[in-house]
Chains A and B, each alone.
Chain A
Amino acid sequence: MVFITGQKEEKEAVLVLGCPQVPVQTAVALYLMHGLRRLGVRPIVAGNPAARMLIDVSDPLHHYAGEMVDLDTFIADMAAGRRKHDYYIVFAHNDAGVTYAATVQSISGKKVIMIIYGENFQAIADRVDFPAEKIMAKAVHNPMPMKKKIDEVLPWLVSNL
């Protein structure tokens, strides 16, 4: 595990997963969780049952994924002030993803990190008009374009958000 200079306690990042209909989501989420753990950040997964099941089956011993929480429960807990995290990472490949990111940003008051992918990634990114750092790539079946982007920016994001 590599700790960022000055970082003393383990931080937490919540990954808010979207509908898993775009194949790269689960692979990118697991790769991102691997990267976060290397930087001393504990990942938490919020998603609908299908998105969570894909993570569970892909990472059965939870080497990468930490706590798993239902998406609606996660939003309700945030709204009630029962949840606060250091980083909010929202996956978006459609309008619903942007809507969830706007919701998380509004409730948390923090800048969110958005993983924007899929065929229409640019159009989706253009709809983001709230505080967000966007990691974006035209990744549908091949996760490599998004992996490269994550490699480039993740240490900076963990240090600066």
Chain B
Amino acid sequence: MACIESLKYEIILRNATFSECREYIRKNCRELVTVDPGFALFEKPVIGVPPILLGLDGDSITFPYTKPCYGTFLLRTENPEEAARLRSLLKK
């Protein structure tokens, strides 16, 4: 996810564990998508401890993001195209 800086995002959690990210998404997001590590999100593979949970609310996507030096963040961004693509996976 090298292009993360090109997205407009909100930081929800800093220095989070993946279980904390999962818990937040379960409690706060309307729709949940479970993916494996390596799943392409914004055309880049997701890094994470499986099962990796992504959250959807309308056009908003909530997702964990790990940087080697800074740990794991839970981010939220608006992206109608990517949200629609994730939502289509739910229907399969």
The reply to whether the CB of A53 lies closer than 8 angstroms to some CB of chain B is no
Complex contact A100–B45 (CB within 8 A): no
* Complex-state Cα separation, A130 to B37, whole angstroms: 13
Q: Enumerate chain A residues within 8 angstroms of B71, measured Cβ to Cβ.
A: 94-96
* Complex-state Cα separation, A127 to B71, whole angstroms: 14
Residues of chain B in range 28-64 having any CB-CB distance to chain A below 8 Å: 36-40, 44-45, 47-50
Whether A106 touches B36, Cβ cut-off 8 Å, given contacts A96-B66, A96-B68, A99-B18, is yes
* Complex-state Cα separation, A103 to B40, whole angstroms: 13
Q: How many residues of B contact A (CB 8 A)?
A: 23
* Complex-state Cα separation, A102 to B66, whole angstroms: 12
Query: Which residue of chain A is the closest to B46 with respect to CB atoms?
Result: A103
Q: Enumerate chain A residues within 8 angstroms of B15, measured Cβ to Cβ.
A: 95
The reply to whether the CB of A54 lies closer than 8 angstroms to some CB of chain B is no
Tell me the smallest distance from the CB of B3 to a CB of chain A, in Å: 10
The reply to whether the CB of A107 lies closer than 8 angstroms to some CB of chain B is yes
The 3 A-B pairs at the shortest CB distance, nearest first, are namely: A79-B38, A19-B69, A103-B37
* Contacts A/B (CB < 8 Å), 21 sampled: A48-B68, A48-B69, A72-B2, A75-B45, A76-B45, A79-B37, A79-B39, A79-B40, A79-B45, A95-B17, A96-B66, A96-B67, A96-B71, A96-B72, A97-B68, A100-B66, A100-B68, A102-B50, A103-B38, A107-B36, A107-B38
Interface contacts beyond A72-B2, A76-B45, A96-B68: sample of 14 additional A-B pairs, CB < 8 Å, sorted by A: A72-B44, A75-B38, A78-B45, A95-B17, A95-B72, A96-B67, A96-B70, A96-B71, A99-B49, A99-B72, A102-B48, A103-B49, A107-B37, A130-B49
